Amino acid sequence: MLTSKQRAFLRGIANNIDTILIVGKGEIGDNIIKQADAALTAREIIKGRVLENSAYSSREAAGILAEKCDADVVQVIGSKFILYRRNPDDPVIVLPKNKNK
Protein backbone atom coordinates (compact mmCIF):
# COMPACT_ATOMS: atom_id res chain seq x y z
CA MET A 1 0.00 0.00 0.00
CA LEU A 2 1.37 3.37 -1.03
CA THR A 3 1.34 6.46 1.18
CA SER A 4 0.24 9.84 -0.15
CA LYS A 5 3.87 11.00 -0.18
CA GLN A 6 4.90 7.96 -2.23
CA ARG A 7 1.98 8.51 -4.63
CA ALA A 8 3.02 12.14 -5.12
CA PHE A 9 6.60 11.01 -5.80
CA LEU A 10 5.42 8.47 -8.38
CA ARG A 11 3.10 11.01 -10.05
CA GLY A 12 6.13 13.26 -10.53
CA ILE A 13 8.04 10.43 -12.22
CA ALA A 14 5.04 9.55 -14.40
CA ASN A 15 4.86 13.06 -15.84
CA ASN A 16 7.90 12.27 -17.98
CA ILE A 17 6.92 8.83 -19.29
CA ASP A 18 4.91 7.96 -22.39
CA THR A 19 1.63 6.08 -22.47
CA ILE A 20 2.49 2.49 -23.36
CA LEU A 21 -0.72 0.61 -22.60
CA ILE A 22 -4.02 1.23 -24.40
CA VAL A 23 -7.32 -0.41 -23.46
CA GLY A 24 -9.69 -0.48 -26.43
CA LYS A 25 -13.21 -1.67 -27.00
CA GLY A 26 -12.44 -5.34 -26.39
CA GLU A 27 -12.19 -7.15 -23.09
CA ILE A 28 -9.16 -6.83 -20.85
CA GLY A 29 -7.76 -10.19 -21.88
CA ASP A 30 -4.61 -12.18 -21.35
CA ASN A 31 -2.72 -10.22 -24.00
CA ILE A 32 -3.18 -6.84 -22.28
CA ILE A 33 -2.48 -8.36 -18.86
CA LYS A 34 0.76 -9.97 -20.12
CA GLN A 35 1.80 -6.70 -21.74
CA ALA A 36 1.15 -4.74 -18.52
CA ASP A 37 2.92 -7.38 -16.40
CA ALA A 38 6.02 -7.37 -18.61
CA ALA A 39 6.13 -3.56 -18.69
CA LEU A 40 5.78 -3.33 -14.89
CA THR A 41 8.62 -5.82 -14.44
CA ALA A 42 10.87 -3.85 -16.77
CA ARG A 43 9.92 -0.29 -15.79
CA GLU A 44 8.11 -0.51 -12.42
CA ILE A 45 5.78 2.33 -13.45
CA ILE A 46 3.56 2.52 -16.51
CA LYS A 47 1.01 4.91 -17.91
CA GLY A 48 -2.10 3.60 -19.63
CA ARG A 49 -5.05 5.06 -21.47
CA VAL A 50 -8.62 3.91 -22.03
CA LEU A 51 -10.18 4.72 -25.40
CA GLU A 52 -13.61 6.37 -25.53
CA ASN A 53 -15.22 3.34 -27.18
CA SER A 54 -14.07 1.01 -24.39
CA ALA A 55 -16.60 -0.79 -22.20
CA TYR A 56 -14.47 0.14 -19.16
CA SER A 57 -13.96 3.43 -17.39
CA SER A 58 -10.34 4.34 -16.73
CA ARG A 59 -10.82 3.61 -13.02
CA GLU A 60 -12.28 0.15 -13.75
CA ALA A 61 -9.50 -0.72 -16.20
CA ALA A 62 -6.80 0.45 -13.79
CA GLY A 63 -8.35 -1.56 -10.97
CA ILE A 64 -8.62 -4.74 -13.03
CA LEU A 65 -5.06 -4.48 -14.34
CA ALA A 66 -3.67 -3.64 -10.89
CA GLU A 67 -5.40 -6.68 -9.40
CA LYS A 68 -4.27 -9.07 -12.15
CA CYS A 69 -0.67 -7.77 -12.13
CA ASP A 70 -0.39 -7.34 -8.34
CA ALA A 71 0.31 -3.62 -8.77
CA ASP A 72 -0.85 -0.37 -7.15
CA VAL A 73 -2.97 2.25 -8.86
CA VAL A 74 -1.07 5.51 -8.41
CA GLN A 75 -3.49 7.87 -10.14
CA VAL A 76 -6.48 7.98 -12.47
CA ILE A 77 -7.22 11.22 -14.31
CA GLY A 78 -9.64 11.38 -17.20
CA SER A 79 -8.86 8.55 -19.59
CA LYS A 80 -5.32 7.96 -18.25
CA PHE A 81 -4.05 5.90 -15.35
CA ILE A 82 -0.72 5.10 -13.72
CA LEU A 83 0.27 1.73 -12.26
CA TYR A 84 3.28 0.90 -10.08
CA ARG A 85 4.81 -2.38 -8.97
CA ARG A 86 8.23 -2.69 -7.33
CA ASN A 87 10.62 -5.08 -9.07
CA PRO A 88 11.80 -7.41 -6.26
CA ASP A 89 14.94 -8.51 -8.11
CA ASP A 90 16.25 -5.22 -9.50
CA PRO A 91 14.38 -2.17 -8.11
CA VAL A 92 14.86 0.99 -10.14
CA ILE A 93 12.65 3.45 -8.25
CA VAL A 94 13.43 4.17 -4.59
CA LEU A 95 10.29 5.35 -2.81
CA PRO A 96 10.41 7.86 0.05
CA LYS A 97 10.22 6.14 3.43
CA ASN A 98 7.14 6.31 5.62
CA LYS A 99 8.21 8.29 8.74
CA ASN A 100 5.43 6.84 10.92
CA LYS A 101 6.93 3.35 10.96
State the CB neighbour count (10 A cutoff) for residue 59.
Answer: 12
Instruction: Domains for the chain: give ranges and CATH numbers.
Output: 4-84 (3.30.110.60)
Cα angle 47, 70, 38; round to 5? 55
Span 72-80, mean pLDDT? Answer: 97
Is residue 86 helix, strand or coil?
Answer: coil
* pLDDT at position 100 over 70: no
pTM above 0.85, yes or no: yes
Residues 26, 50 contacting (CB under 8 angstroms) = no
Q: Which tens digit of pLDDT belongs to each residue from 37-66? A: 999 999 999 999 999 999 999 999 999 999
End-to-end CA, the chain: 13
Distance CA 35, CA 47 (A): 12
What average pLDDT does the chain have? 93
